[in-house]
Chain A
Amino acid sequence: MSLTYQPIISLATNRIVAVEALLPPGRADRATTFGESVRQASVWHRTYPKTPVQLAISVTPSQFGPTLAGTLRKAVDEVGLRATFVCLQIAEATVMANVDRSVEILAELSELGFMVSIGGFGAGYSSLNQLLRLPIDEVKIDPSFITGLGSDRVNTTIVASIIGVAHAMDLEVVADGVETSAQLERLQALGCDFAQGSLIAAPMLASEIDEYLAADPTGGVVGLSVNENVLVVDDVADVRMLVTMSLSAAGFTVEEASTGAAALKAARRLVPTCVLLDVSMPDMSGIKVCRALRDDPATADCTIVMLTTNADATDKAEAFLVGADDYIVKPFTPRDLVARIRSAVHRRQTTIGAVGRRVDAALLEMLHTARARERSELTLTDAEHLSSRQIEIVKRLLGGERVPTIARELFVSQSTVRNHLSAVYQRVGVHSQDELLGLLRKSSR
């Protein structure tokens, strides 16, 4: 079994900033972990120089001794990796066992440029006073405290104090074992710097980390959006199970629905990143479900991927016509499925997120100036919350198209267009189409 790597993201940017090398259960050759993971990290640094990712490695109590610094230096020198790209995680108990000796080892590591993180922070009941005086860079909060975050008052207070004290000492804070979005939101609110856990991404093979690093060749590491949840809709249980296994192995959170009606309900509740939709279901065809998802302003921006047994071109055309982003023909291999979903999600998010907004910047700017003249309440950020579909409709209105034409052009019902429009009115603070158009025309003059 190879080493696996679990992504650690920045809570400020949702981008991968580090990966922790993990030994598969049952493999006992800890000694080779350094060599293997450092070599892998150096390959990533050479292949993706614009997206440097730090390597986090755990140091065991037996490794934490006078020879540690020398061993590590040799390992990074051999592969030509800078020591600052390696963060050593040492358990609180290991460090506190003999503080005087630890100070010497830590000073030596720090001298060589290695980053040091104290793992399982808080679990050892050590004196914060002593702990924070050590030459370290980061503390990693023990998963046991994250579990009760938000629900248990004592845990929540402890996490808040750790973050507060660490920041006061110029130390960064990683939360380990983040499993729910409620925990993540709380950590964001408390100003925690980094997060790791099954909610964000499960440990994965080096080749899968590659996929993330390769996904954005222009610069920054592509983000693992923390709420990448997929709704799997198929009436056949074994297909659902295989899809769920494949996607969870890749770090997605997966929910299942076995009928079209259940899918629509679940999609409204979850607003998933992606809906994977079987075309032929007994109660309601996937095509119908797709159209309904696109018509509902709440789910209009989800990535929708259709799953079918038919390679028939007319089916494919129909799927794209109702707004599907991609079309996968069964059988699929687990790897292909994940790759197709990732790229569909990435494409859609780039379109509606970055490109779409940049393209529509002119319109946003118009809304902005218009509002600023009126009451100066609408900020650009508010306007950015208009969905791509809403922007499209407003642009068409401005271009002189009427609701029935717009509905026909966008393959939606007239009432859907009107629903989108009332959402826009509400956001912009007007009450009618005339008022909206008046405002926009005034500002464009």
Chain B
Amino acid sequence: MHKNGGSGCETRNMPLRDRTSLDPVAIAGLHELAARIIGGADQMRQLVELFLHDTARRLDELTAAVEAGDAMRVAALAHNLCGSCANLGARDMAKGCRDMEREANDGRVEVVRLGPLMAAFDRAQAELRTEFLGTQRAAPR
């Protein structure tokens, strides 16, 4: 439980501006799934809305836990949020969560900074909206 969950982030050293914050493989998988379900595009929109709504709530909880200096809760919340982010292809957010979980587990809750994760959420939110909620982009085949 105290180790950082396996997969390191290979994109660590890439300049932020030159890439999307999303994981293209995961995003392609979601498009492919939507294409296989009747009404899949609608369901995918609902899923993204659900994720964004839920994540906003969980980030509030995380903020409160950081402010309260509750390392265990920070670690648990970051750990759980990481899974959702990764599934929806929000790669940079998932990395932010992993970093935060590690810091909290090391008992360094005072060095935990919410800024990068919040920025990653803003970016992921905009990009996911463009990807699934905005233009009626056809699923790649």
Contacts and interface: CB of A to CB of B under 8 A. Distances in A.
Interface of A: 1-2, 25, 204-205, 235-239, 241-242, 245-246, 248-249, 280, 308-312, 314-315, 329-335
Contacts of B30: 334
Contacts of A237: 50, 54
5 tightest Cβ-Cβ pairs between the two chains A and B: A311-B6, A331-B86, A330-B83, A333-B29, A238-B51
B74 to A, nearest CB: 14
B33 interface: yes
A25 B6 CA distance: 43
Interface in B42-94: 43-44, 46-47, 50-51, 54, 76, 79-80, 82-84, 86-89, 94
A249 B25 contact: no
Contacts of B26: 331, 333
A238 B79 contact: no
B1 A242 contact: no
A280 B84 contact: no
12 contacts: A2-B141, A239-B84, A245-B43, A249-B33, A309-B83, A310-B79, A312-B3, A315-B1, A330-B82, A333-B25, A333-B26, A334-B30
Contacts of A248: 37
A315 B1 CA distance: 7
B117 to A, nearest CB: 16
Interface in B105-130: none
A163 to B, nearest CB: 30
A333 B88 CA distance: 9
A242 B5 contact: no
Contact of A280 (B40, B44, B76, B88): B76
B38 interface: yes
B124 to A, nearest CB: 13
Given A238-B87, A280-B79, A312 B1 contact: yes
B84 A236 contact: yes
A239 B87 CA distance: 8
Contacts of B6: 310-312, 329
Given A205-B36, A249-B37, A311-B5, A331 B94 contact: yes
A4 B36 CA distance: 9
A334 B47 contact: no
A238 B36 contact: no
Contact of B79 (A204, A309, A332): A309
Contacts of A314: 1
B14 to A, nearest CB: 19
A329 B43 contact: no
Given A242-B87, A242-B88, A334 B33 contact: yes
Task: Label chain B's interface by main secondary structure.
Answer: helix
Nearest to B25: A333
Contacts of A235: 80
A334 B26 CA distance: 9
Interface string B1-18: 101011100000000000
Contacts of B50: 237-238, 241
A235 B54 CA distance: 12
Contact of B36 (A204, A239, A309): A204
Given A1-B35, A204-B36, A249-B36, A236 B80 contact: yes
B90 to A, nearest CB: 10
Contacts of A330: 82-83, 86-87
Nearest to B44: A245
A330 B76 CA distance: 15
B71 to A, nearest CB: 16
Contacts of B141: 1-2
B1 A310 contact: yes
Nearest to B50: A238
Nearest to B6: A311
Contacts of A245: 33, 37, 40, 43-44, 47
B83 A334 contact: no
Nearest to A333: B29
A29 to B, nearest CB: 16
Contacts of A249: 33, 36-37, 40
A5 B83 CA distance: 33
A153 B96 CA distance: 61
Contacts of A204: 36
A237 B26 CA distance: 18
B95 to A, nearest CB: 12
A311 B7 contact: yes
B47 A242 contact: yes
Contacts of A1: 35, 141
B118 to A, nearest CB: 19
A19 to B, nearest CB: 16
Contact of A238 (B5, B47, B82): B47
A412 to B, nearest CB: 24
B5 A312 contact: yes
Contacts of A238: 47, 50-51, 54, 84, 87-88
A26 B88 CA distance: 28
A309 B25 contact: no
